[in-house]
A and B are shown apart, each in its own frame.
Chain A
């Protein structure tokens, strides 16, 4: 492979060049950082150190300990369409490296003062090459112990028009940091650092462990321990696809979908498909305006995914979209299902925070405000206390009006023994507070259950199960509804007709660009079928799945569940409370209510002891 003087690096033939997604490679400092760090990863580096001055406008320096380049290779590396990663157009179908176009270095070199110092593995000298706005000098001998250091000075000085579009230094810097974090998430065995020349802004050590542990440790470094503590591992395989990663518990949710990361064969990508699949998988647990935090790694045969669709390589195209979506939805559902009744520990941390003695009052930072304590604790509190949807009024209680008296039924000896005999995760009920909360004791702590929220979830799960068993009753229409759509939307909707019929909505084609609604789910009553079908068409266009219908049905179930469950304020006997706890343990997803709020909080004994300064 390493033929000719240029070593590993060679020019691509014209045909291959023409097939490469064209467009702007470097738009801002962050995109240059991305290209350089990706090159370092492709070179097999174990340590990558990035320095940015003035947000990267003055200097971007990336140093790695990878395989390095010989002087010949250095000369080739800055030529357009020169790459060591791709030989022919054929290879474009199965890209295994982050780079493949041979565009990044020449693009950067044409708009800045670029200098590359490198020492090829095994060589005893280093060489340096300079490119100033496209003009090449060198290579000349230089000093470097190993690997490669690339310095980009005065980015865009050669193109003043572009310079004007750059944002404030801090914004550019945080964009670059975001990119480094994303790449770091996918490469736990590579150490990363970012500094502004004076201060270290980010550092992630090489993971010493292997596999999931390494991954988890790295994600903890980047997203905060609160995330890894409140996430479940995802591991699902279908055909040649493998999905791994960590999915945040519904109780650890956010107001936006920004903290959802997808990596395809180690490459961070943005994909609409992820948004839809995640929404589908969490639909049962989260209000529409709450979003889970998650990191997913999809590994698949490079032939099954086209990464050559976006100039910044930020998007990919799957050969079988449906398969990928299906795997993500089922993988997430499965992982969340296995989590069972587990609610996030961030909840109890927040509760503890609120319970801290008055000497050091913990004030909750305003939503969105950066906390001085950093990620973990306050984030957790925020994620729990941020307004989701309005609290169900019946689960709120007014301490003014309700006498503060704990209700404690005499615990019989028999009950006491039963509690000791079996070690229930949610413990044994000890009493009810404010006729709203069940207090239970388990092996190593205290469990507080919101009786209405918990029961509502149980009723909802039961209702859904029976709906699934008996099917959705359909009201036939005396006057079928004709819905005018555009032809594309109509055929999209009709393609899913069978699926919708199972949910009670029967549609038929009606000329060009229209469908006729023949039957509607009886559960929805006198539903506006025109609006329903339009919403479904939008869903399909946007997310490639018709969520609206299922969501509407589930909404009805949820409302009915709310009305059909014990209210706050209802006195419960110990037997009733214990029955509820046992049913929660037996019911998947009972850790959060239908709006993603926790149904119970667990306080570990050691946390309680800490509250009293015993630890």
Chain B
């Protein structure tokens, strides 16, 4: 193998793939990235056995070939090369030599034959999704993904076909047991028969990275155990979480009839302000709702108290409710419209929140007892 490639092209591809590689591995080759030169292209592959990414980039190839080298080391080297540098890679027996200007690195290789190949298997369900829609599905739910290992089936986004009043949609749901986020997009052609799947958190993160640079249609192929995302220059294949997502619809209350409408920006700034005073991790903020106003208060046994009154659209019976201010802010962050709507029942039942300008997303937040 012998090739030359522009530093920035190599860096971009490497930064996409290296984050898949775990920092510590018991199987040495999993620390490596596979480099393959063929058909006038350079293909970089990385995997952690649950997730694999292949990224293609143009290169000036003098001789085809393939090998594997430590991913983070290679990434660090390329990152530190001067902008605009031409990087030469050549494989000689067991080492890969990297030349750039006057720098020269020799990296130990492991044979590409030992590099684990993740086979996607049969992927019967295929459809495409515009990148902005994929982005919505991820952005509005991923803050609620659980990190708790015991309930592993909550460690991802549940993507499935939902039947609503306006017909079928493709819906994403995430919950950590304290709050829940749900968002949907129009059901793409070909998705109708797909099973409900749970996409692991790490895969979600990797996919999300590509969405900043990619505008087109994403090709999605899936079975009930694996999923594949096809971008212009990259293909991401991932295992799915093998578990049953709980029947979340049961925790979304239907009958909450106390409606609060409030400026999202004012609300979120006020919550942020009053919670400054709480020094402990529980960060509870109390909301006292009265006709057309709401009073926020935080009490910290060490520091004192903070209160702030806000005008709001509220005409139901007066009530008080406490929330984790961090959770509240997470939800308010998702709201793009001017107004946020909250439907409440009482101080011990879940509250439903929505973006006043967006029907398609919904959040459920469980209160705190303070």
Contacts and interface: CB of A to CB of B under 8 A. Distances in A.
10 contacts: A462-B302, A470-B299, A475-B368, A476-B368, A477-B177, A478-B365, A479-B246, A522-B324, A522-B368, A525-B281
Given A525-B281, A528-B148, 19 more contacts: A463-B280, A466-B302, A469-B301, A473-B369, A473-B370, A475-B368, A476-B348, A476-B369, A477-B177, A478-B251, A478-B350, A478-B366, A481-B177, A521-B282, A522-B283, A526-B148, A526-B177, A526-B178, A528-B149
Q: How large is the interface on B (under 10, 10 to 19, 20 to 34, 35 or more residues)?
A: 35 or more
B contacts with A: majority SS: loop
B25 interface: no
Contact of A522 (B146, B279, B281, B350): B281
Interface of B: 146-151, 154, 175-180, 246, 248, 251, 279-284, 299, 301-302, 322, 324, 348, 350, 364-370
Nearest to B322: A473
A528 B280 CA distance: 19
A523 interface: yes
Given A519-B369, A522-B282, A526-B148, A477 B301 contact: no
A531 B284 CA distance: 24
A560 interface: yes
A65 to B, nearest CB: 64
Contacts of B248: 479
Interface residues of A, number: 27
A463 B301 CA distance: 9
B147 A473 contact: no
A58 B246 CA distance: 72
Interface string A464-490: 001101100111111101000000000
Interface of A: 462-463, 466-467, 469-470, 473-479, 481, 519, 521-523, 525-528, 530-531, 556, 560, 564
B281 A526 contact: no
B175 A523 contact: no
A478 B368 contact: no
Contacts of B150: 528, 530-531
B284 A522 contact: yes
Which 8 residue pairs of A and B lie closest in terms of their CB atoms, listed nearest first? A466-B301, A522-B282, A478-B366, A473-B282, A530-B150, A479-B177, A474-B369, A476-B366
A167 to B, nearest CB: 42
Nearest to B281: A523
A462 B301 CA distance: 10
Scoring A462, A466, A521, A527 by chain B CB atoms within 10 A of each residue's CB, the highest score goes to A466
A478 B301 contact: no
A476 B367 CA distance: 6
A528 B149 CA distance: 8
A519 B177 CA distance: 11
Contact of A478 (B177, B282, B322): B177
Scoring B147, B367, B370 by chain A CB atoms within 10 A of each residue's CB, the highest score goes to B370
B367 A481 contact: no
A39 B151 CA distance: 60
A429 to B, nearest CB: 25
A523 B324 CA distance: 10
Nearest to A481: B177
Scoring B151, B176, B246, B280 by chain A CB atoms within 10 A of each residue's CB, the highest score goes to B280
Contact of A477 (B279, B302, B366): B366
A478 B284 contact: no
A52 to B, nearest CB: 54
A473 B279 CA distance: 13
Nearest to A534: B150
Contacts of B279: 560, 564
Contact of A526 (B147, B180, B322, B369): B147
Nearest to B252: A478
A479 B365 CA distance: 11
B324 A475 contact: yes
B114 to A, nearest CB: 36
Contacts of B178: 475, 477-478, 526
Nearest to B348: A476
A283 B69 CA distance: 50
A280 B284 CA distance: 30
Nearest to B300: A466
B352 to A, nearest CB: 11
A523 B154 CA distance: 21
